[in-house]
Amino acid sequence: MTGRVEGKVAFITGAARGQGRSHAIRLAEEGADIIAVDICEQIESNLYPLATPEDLEETAKAVENLGRRIIARKADVRDRDELKAVLDEGVRELGHLDVVVANAGIMPMGTTNPMDFVDATDVDLIGVMNTVAAALPHLPDGASIVITGSNAGLMSGTTDTGAMGGGGSGYAWSKKTLVGYTEQMAMNLASRMIRVNAIHPTNCNTHLIHNEELYHVFRPDLDNPTREDVIPAFTYFQAMPVPYVEPVDISNAVLFFASDETRYVTGQQFRVDAGSLLRWPNGPK
């Protein structure tokens, strides 16, 4: 099956790299044009490096190489006016908006500054709400909204233990809160046939898990753990014998929810987690 989102326009946040770039490419492969945003600068509390303008340019080139159109702009999901400006431009250029992928997220960790919690919730929760709010005036009946949650955020004893500081707690609280937000938005938009679903990935092969701070969480017994050192611990987290999933595994779920195949599917909490929540329903011990 090809052309599953042919003629649609998708708005994707956090699109400069990682899952967001993968979503843009996967939707473009199936016929969508893209409106892409990313902050493209550092947030002080987030110790691993965030995307750059060059990363966003690479996403744009990848979409264009597939023969699709893209409007790629620097914007901060914490600023609703910035999102609105990009959407106004994107809809003006591309004609309409059919799909929203609220993907942007961070996980500050490793410090004790209370602003870590604030930064995490501002991006991971308020950023999602801003994305949806800015997009809603442009969405027709029958549109699709896809929200990125987190499987770890659904578990106790993972990001909320204090080992990741206030940022980890803010991440976990935001992702848990998005469960209810998804369901409430699904109910409020059901009369317009706009569906709202959340995807909850397990560890995904992106910068969010591949950084020194998270490696230390998984291997506190080592001074300088490497990727090779944490692979067994990452694998232990899943029921299936894999250390993490790939961004395209999440993108395939995004494509499913963006397509008309899910025209009557709304309010779902969809896990792409290699069985981790089944293995650790109350968090790993």
Q: Return d(Cα 110, Cα 112) in angstroms, integer.
A: 7
Q: Output the DSSP codes for 197-260.
A: EEEEE-SBSSTTTSSHHHHHHH-TT-SS--HHHHHHHHHHHSSSS-S-B-HHHHHHHHHHHHSG
For this structure, is 236 an active site residue?
Answer: no
Cβ–Cβ under 8 Å, residues 149 and 274: no
User: Encoding tokens for residue 181?
Assistant: 């937000």
Q: Return d(Cα 172, Cα 193) in angstroms, integer.
A: 30
Beta carbons within 8 Å of 85's beta carbon, 6+ residues apart = 75
Of the residues 171, 181, 215, 244, which is catalytic?
A: 171
Q: Return d(Cα 118, Cα 126) in angstroms, integer.
A: 10
Task: Give catalytic residues, as residue numbers.
Answer: 171
